[in-house]
Amino acid sequence: MAKVSLLGVPHDANSSFLRGAADAPPLIRRELYCDAYSIWSESGIDLSVPGRLVDHGDVAFEPTTDAWKSIEDHVDRLCGSGDRLICLGGDHAITHPIMRAVRRHHPKLTILHIDAHADLYDSYLGNPRSHASPFARIMEERLADRLIQVGLRTINDHHREQFKRFGVEVVEAARCGESLQIRLDTPVYLSLDMDGLDPAHAPGVSHREPGGLSTRQVIRLIQSIDQPVVAADIVEFNPRNDIGNMTATVAAKLTKEIAGIMLR
């Protein structure tokens, strides 16, 4: 039976504004397994079937080991099993070491990245590992064949230079209509920053940016992916800024929908 592995990556040391994203994984899990909600995905997958959604706990970070190596080693081990993988962050910086491991197992790969921000700074505040920089590192290391960014609404001139440098395909938030569909021709890595959603739907983030996608738009985009989704991350949920567990509930809902398309 095909299965999805779940891995928490509670790391936010490279956040530039507020800490708190490291607290997210257990709160997403709490909503994911809460009896108040259905564990079925909208695509018709029962995630309560034993062995279908396997939780591997959280990466444990030791002060004597580079956090990037710890993340990469855990992801490499889980990808080696052939199962699909969803990582619960954490800030967006963690996507870089995750992708180092995922790429090892997938010679053809497209990243579909949903976010308010491009996260393509060559370095941010002097930190090349900043959560504002992971996709610059990923594209420098050729960890993906294509990078498609959806929902952006904070683009500046440096980002535009980086788009040209790396051949990034961009669908700004203003162009995200109800019928948006992305043409894909390789397996997909889905990177979902919770601030890609409008803060009316997901207020529990460190960098609220009005004018974003609705929860339904994101679900519709996820469901429209017509290539295998081999791995994904859900990042930048900051419980310290949440209101009534709203963002935790949305993150859990999106976890179910991603798992559902992985298993369809």
Closest CA to 91 of 31, 17, 202, 147: 17
More confident residue, 179 or 101: 101
Q: What is the pLDDT of residues 167-217, one digit of tens each?
A: 999 999 999 987 788 999 999 999 999 999 999 999 999 999 999 999 999
| pLDDT of 236 over the 90 cut | yes
Instruction: Please say if the pLDDT value at position 2 is more than 90.
Output: no
**Residue-level pLDDT at 93:** 98
State yes or no: 83 annotated in a binding site. Answer: no
- State yes or no: 58 annotated in a binding site: no
- Is residue 87 within 8 Å of 233, Cβ to Cβ? yes
Determine what percent of the chain is predicted with pLDDT higher than 90. Answer: 97
Q: What are the pLDDT digits (tens) for 38-96?
A: 999 999 999 999 999 999 999 999 999 999 999 999 999 999 999 999 999 999 999 99
CATH of the domain at 169: 3.40.800.10
pLDDT tens digits along 147-171? 999 999 999 999 999 999 999 999 9
Average pLDDT rounded to a whole number, residues 7-17: 97
66 labelled as ligand-binding? no
What pLDDT does residue 14 have?
Answer: 98
Q: Using CB atoms within 10 Å of the CB of residue 16, give its burial: 0 to 12 exposed, 13 to 18 middle, 19+ buried.
A: middle
> Cis peptide leading into 20, omega within 30 of 0?
no
On the question of pLDDT at 218 being above 90, the answer is: yes
Q: Is 195 annotated as a binding residue?
A: yes
pLDDT at 181: 83
Q: Which pLDDT score is estimated for 179?
A: 75
Q: What is the dihedral of CA 2, 102, 95, 61, to 10 degrees?
A: 90
Q: Which amino acid is it at 60?
A: A
State the chain's mean pLDDT as an integer. 97
Q: What SS3 state is found at 215?
A: helix
CA distance 45 to 187: 20
Q: What is the pLDDT of residues 19-36, one digit of tens each?
A: 999 999 999 999 999 999
Give residue 177's pLDDT.
Answer: 82
Q: Which residue range is the domain that position 74 belongs to?
A: 4-263
Written as six digits, the tokens of 240 are: 């310290």
User: Across the strands, what pairs with 235?
Assistant: 193
- Confirm or deny that 115 is annotated as ligand binding: yes
The two tokens of residue 251 are 């993150």
pLDDT at 209: 98
Split into its structural domains, the chain has a count of 1
| Residue 159 known to bind ligand | no
pLDDT value of position 178: 74
Tell me what pLDDT residue 216 has: 96
